Amino acid sequence: MSTSSTLAVEYEFQPARTPRSAEVNANFAAIIELINTTGLGTNNFKLATFTSAKLTAGCAVDSKFQDLGITKAKQEALNIIYGSDQASYDSGTSASLADITGSSVTITTTGRPVVYGLLPINGSSQSEMTGVDTSNNFVRFCRDATVLGQAANYTGPISSLRIVDHPAAGTYTYNMKVTTTFTALVLTNFRPFAYEIF
Amino acid sequence: MPTSSTLTIPNTFVARTPAESAEMNANFAAVATLINTTGLGSNNIKDGTVTADLLEAGTIAGSVIPDAGITRGKLAALGQQSASVASFSTTSGSATDVTGLSVSLTTTGRAVFVGLQASSGSSESVITGTANTNILFVRGSTTFANFATPTVSSPGGYATHDAPAAGTYTYKVQVQSDGADTIAFTRVTLIAYEL
């Protein structure tokens, strides 16, 4: 809503004519009316009058915001990255660590925690993880060269493979590696994701 | 607490009495004092006056917001919706709604987390199935996730993201078997919220 307010003095004084007291009083009354009652309006300020310099640093304290006033629509879009859909991955059996093809995503963060993991692909195709839980079979979560954690490689929902990381702000590539000494890990219809917790 | 500021002029001029210059000056000085010294108060500005045009772009900069200044109380409610089932099982060979596991969620267009978790309380929550059973996540009539089920699993492992346009949607959980094997839910909760 835009408002405007106009100061209109009632009398304009002419040369060589003594102003009447009532006229002078009326003009002052007009000023008083505007200041005290009507109030200044949008038009009384130049555009962009209220610069950041007019605001004291730190003045927008919590109490200045309406409770529950910052809706999702007001928030920056979620920083979420999805990798491409993967139809299948079969590790075969190997005692050495191998990258899980299609599990990597790269995300640039601001320093907030990051959730990284796998999801089923969107749609009605069946997603599945089959493996076997032994001390020699595991899935390793990595952020670049940093090992974040290690999960049992077992048969269960794809989405049980996820982890919360706490990196400093930066750009990181997450991926998963697997060791399958005795039994292959098979992933079907999955996609990797990473997002910063808002 | 809004502040107010009132302009009061000291002299009212009287008819047929010459105005003294000092009186006139005093009146103007009162206006100047209010503007220059006292300052305008909230009553001196009409409601709704400070429009976006009057704010310099970027005025509400990070520098005017104290670190950690926006508390969670200022954020709109997450709006998460949840629904639970105490016990459900079926051998149906067609997609079958899990009784009670249905929620309605209104979104603004952001990604939606949809997942299962253990129901509150100290009793065990579990999903049992076979290689021939599946769990489906459905929005309206659209299946957007399909999980194969192991013999025994924790509800918390089943989760995904949906990405619908802004709107109000019904999310529900369905299960499907081969017509012979049983899939069973014990104390399972469906939860959905916008990320």
Spatial separation of the C-alpha atoms in residues B92 and B175, rounded to whole Å: 8
| Separation between Cα atoms, residue A158 and residue A31, nearest integer Å | 73
- Chain A partners within 8 Å of B143 (Cβ): 123-124
The values of phi and psi at residue B167, to 5°, are 165, -175
Whether the Cβ atoms of residue B91 and residue B146 lie closer than 8 Å to each other? no
B126-176: pLDDT as tens digits: 999 999 999 999 999 999 999 999 999 999 999 999 999 999 999 999 999
pLDDT band at B58 (very low <50, low <70, confident <90, very high): confident
Compute the nearest-CA separation of B136 from chain A (Å).
8
CB contact under 8 A, B195 and A155: no
**Please, which pLDDT band fits residue A55 given cuts at 50, 70 and 90?**
confident
Tell me which chain A residues have a C-beta less than 8 angstroms from the C-beta of B163. 122
Q: Of all helices (H) and strands (E), which one includes residue A172?
A: strand A170-180
Contact B176, B147 (CB under 8 A): no
Q: Does the distance separating the beta carbons of A50 and B59 come in below 8 Å?
A: yes
Q: How many CB pairs under 8 A join A and B?
A: 211
H or E element, residue A107: strand A105-109
The pTM assigned to this predicted structure is: 0.79
pLDDT of residue A48: 85
Whole-complex ipTM: 0.75
Pairwise CA distance, residues B147 & B169, whole Å: 21
pLDDT in tens, B80-96: 999 999 999 999 999 99
Q: For residue A84, give the nearest of A189, A162, A187, A174 by alpha carbon.
A: A189
Are B15 and A193 an interchain contact pair (Cβ–Cβ within 8 Å)? no
Cβ-Cβ contacts under 8 Å, B14 against chain A: 21
Average pLDDT over residues A41-50: 87
Q: Give the whole-angstrom CA distance, residue A52 versus residue B89.
A: 62
Tell me whether residues B195 and A77 touch, CB distance under 8 A: no
